[in-house]
Chains A and B, each alone.
Chain A
Amino acid sequence: MPLKAPRTLFDKLWDAHVVVAETDATPAVLYVDLHLIHEVTSPQAFTALRDRGIAPRAPQRTKATMDHSTPTTQADADGKLHYYTLASEAQVDLLARNCAGHGIELFDMQSADRGIVHVLAPELGLTQPGMTIVCGDSHTSTHGAFGALAFGIGTSEVGHVLATQCLLQRKAKTMAITVDGPLAEGVSAKDVILHIIGVIGVNGGTGHVIEYRGSTIRAMDMEQRMTLCNMSIEAGARAGMIGPDAVTYAWLENTPRAPQGDAFEHAKARWSQFCSDENARFDQEIAIEACHIRPTLTWGTHPGTAIAVDRAIPAANDAAARKSLDYMQFESGHALAGTPVDVVFVGSCTNGRLGDMREVATVLRDRRVDARVRMLVVPGSELVKRQAEAEGIDVIVRAAGAEWREPGCSMCIAMNGDLVAPGQLAVSTSNRNFEGRQGPGSRTLLASPMTAAWAAVNGCVADPRELFAAPAAAREEVA
């Protein structure tokens, strides 16, 4: 019998979900274990099913939440929520009706578990190793942090999954990105992924599934791994993933929807197979040394324009870069540090988790947000909000002069009325700095929660490593 060729994590996830194998003439039929939906990309899918007289095949495999269009302001005393537009409210209402009509579990505005779809599913333990997970949302790649094959789909495909629990898929190519070594103080998973996108480019991952490997990744907690996998799409990759390990299992063990008791041990044994075999071959391999990663921000209008905080904005070598600079009102040769900031946004499926809130609190404790800056801190879910408030983080945030909001996507996609005004410059912990992403005419610098909070305190972009440097007086003494 020939030896079985070593397989990558992606190969194993793929093989385990093939319903009908792909041929030259036809794509594979791939089974979907977990389907997540939200209000924005699902309405037309339900309409398509209704028009054809089809009911969802496995409604228990679809979970719904409301996050994109929902207000982050508190409800009135009588419980009335203030939606940005009537259309937003109608969209949220329609999701509730669609879920009720088809027996789909919905985490609605009254639910104590509601949150951004990519924050909610992992914290409930719905996201598990070895799964295929899809959602009409490109940041579905987040769930790959658990050793799942997770990717964003369009609304037609949301309909396909509702109707058949399957998708037609061509197998993607594989890319291994290995990061080794310890991260410096002030450098987080967000800096790592911005650095990676800066290295491989905004389209460097197109057609590929990325597996993140190496000692730096192993040393990350689950929240950091999610931040990393979340932005795989910003390099054009279909998905990002990390093989599960003790860190993964420790997270899952504390979640309500993961298998419990003996079933958990049984599941763990199965999950542990989902790792790349030794000598498994990838179509592309990239190695990055963690010691080269510094606090990183973007200067342009796509996430590939990432540079270290103390580097100068590079020369514009093409029309796209010139257009980026023109839109951002920046000049080549200038460093971002010192650039005055109007808005700071902490939140989103990239950086809206408890660890991110803690990082911000560490910076804001006993400090004030600069008077020129409006700062919003938006927890990614009701659970993150409760946990943060139990630690007094909301008090620290408010005492510093920032706004502590209700959970949701908020200013990342700016659909709910949380907007950056035209021309204003925002430092945001979200994932996209496209033109107008945070509101028409808005200008966005992507950054880590620590860099964002430090910018809020300084009123301008500043290097968060200053937080760890010896006090100025001590340095002068040495000099």
Chain B
Amino acid sequence: MTRAVLAVPRPRAREAGSGADPRPQDRRTKVTFRDMGFSYPGRRALSGVTLDVPERRVTAIIGPSGCGKSTLIKSINRIAEIGTEVKVEGEVRLDDENLYGPGVDLVDLRRRVGMLFQKPNPFPKSIYENVAFGPRIHGSGGGAELESIVERSLRQAALWDEVSDRLQTSALELSGGQQQRLCLARVLAVDPEVILMDEPCSALDPISTARIEELIEGLRERYTVVIVTHNMQQAARVSDRTAFLLNGSLVEVGETEAIFTNPTDRRTEDYITGRFG
């Protein structure tokens, strides 16, 4: 049975058919999950996940609440384990490095893998200090160099024009959407390779959401993006590949267009057509 389950607006020329964009299997894999299992005390969150995240593309993780989406991406920068005991089986690799092997430098890992959270979480410091936080703790740059990093990051996050004349005011005075873009600038300032987003628009209004989605569009040129979302339309709009997660297991992964128009698994179809979840 092949039929379109969801009309997917894809206005972009870069999509399927444009020869400049190589197919995913030709691309390097940035993050690799191999038969990966993840348990919190008394609760199993993920089991048997095998997934390749291609470099410089946007991968969306969809699935109902509690299916392990957040745990999956938080296992990449290893913040799922903060404040609790966890057990990890199988492998998670960034490039060729096993992230749960011995001697992994968490500071370096988290510099290479940035993260945007569900709710904007700027520090109660000035706009400038928020963006400068990362470079400062990594001891890179000072004075003029730091200033240029801050400006570049704010421009990348499309926030510069709105805040350039008040960099010293508190980040808490910004609107929710501006705060989330500030958090993105804060991530970009440490020059990561991978950017994780955990439902980055769930606390934002539609206009702010649209701006974040525009930004994600631009980010794929330099960064590998993994985004968790509850919003099917959003996954269809922003991602190149989509993975569907259910009860801690990966049900299906493929090109976004294929997943949304022609899912191979019955459960995927049920979920994206809104029959459950």
A associates with B: no
User: Could you list which residues of chain B lie within 8 angstroms of chain A, going by C-beta atoms?
Assistant: none
User: Could you list which residues of chain A lie within 8 angstroms of chain B, going by C-beta atoms?
Assistant: none
